[in-house]
Amino acid sequence: MRRSLLILILFCIMSQLTEAQLWKMKRYEVSGGLGPSIFSGDIGGFSPGENIIGLKDMSFLQTRFNVNANAKYRISQSFSARLSLTYGMLKATDERGSNPDRGFEASTTLFEPALICEYYFIKNKAENSYAFVSSGRKFLKTLFTSLDFYAFGGIGGASYSVKPNLALENNSGGFNSGGFTTVIPAGLGTTLIYSPDLNFGFEIGYRYAFSDYLDGYTSQYSNSNDVYYFLNFNITYKLKTGRNGWPSFSR
């Protein structure tokens, strides 16, 4: 009786330890995403007195798009590191805002590499299920148990090029056609665990630039550098971890 009880206890402990380590079976992920990009600079938008928290600056006229690719490595069950590469377009126009008569307009393209750390403050329950990980079946028992929620932050850079209209190009304050700047990405995201190999996600990302010239222009009234936002819908594919610790592409 004692031996049977001991075996049962050991089996339960080993089962829990095994399930707690299941995430290590797929430590590598690759993903792609796309979505709108929203710009907040010195062209367009409203003065601080008219726009206390900046929400009025977010408009369709200053919205374009971005696409990105990511390679991710899971450091632990709650932390991941990722390399993110993003191509984006930004738009700035005085057509809507506090200076419609000035008539400045700029279109910016940028390429942004970034190193980002993710912290998962809510984890799904599927990846701790051996039956789910090994079977390959989809996991959608309930929506909440299939979701991850995470916060992220990091450091990156943006190589950018600005195309102005004539009013901006010939303005007396000068025009900057492009360059490179450091950016700080931060934001929140959620991931839907669809299958052992496939996730779908949504991410809201804020970028603070160490430059005030992403729209090619700054003024004496500017009190902060430029910022922009990415809203991305992502698809993630998880790779098996090989015996050597590197990703395996075999089924």
Domain boundaries, the chain: 2-241
Q: Are 226 and 211 contacting, i.e. CB atoms less than 8 angstroms apart?
A: yes
CA distance 251 to 249: 7
Nearest to 42 by CA among 64, 62, 18, 69: 62
Instruction: Determine the distance from the C-alpha atom of residue 79 to the mean position of all C-alpha atoms in its chain, rounded to a whole number.
Output: 15
Q: Is 190 buried (19+), middle (13-18) or exposed (0-12) by CB count in 10 A?
A: middle
Q: What is the mean pLDDT of each run of 10 residues along the chain (251 residues)?
A: 49 41 85 95 69 59 92 94 97 80 92 98 74 55 77 98 93 88 98 89 96 90 89 94 75 60
pLDDT score at 19: 43
pLDDT score at 41: 86
Nearest to 86 by CA among 69, 107, 101: 69
Q: Are 175 and 92 contacting, i.e. CB atoms less than 8 angstroms apart?
A: no
CA distance 184 to 143: 32
pLDDT score at 247: 77
CA distance 191 to 183: 24
In the chain, DSSP assigns E strands to 28-40, 63-74, 79-93, 105-122, 147-164, 178-193, 198-209, 227-241, 247-248
pLDDT score at 189: 97
CA distance 195 to 199: 7
pLDDT score at 14: 40
CA distance 165 to 70: 34
CA dihedral 133, 138, 141, 144 (to 10 degrees): 80
Give me the count of residues in the chain.
Answer: 251
Q: What pTM does this model have?
A: 0.82
- Of 3.30.70.1400, 2.40.160.20, 2.60.40.10, 3.30.70.1560, the CATH number of 2-241 is 2.40.160.20
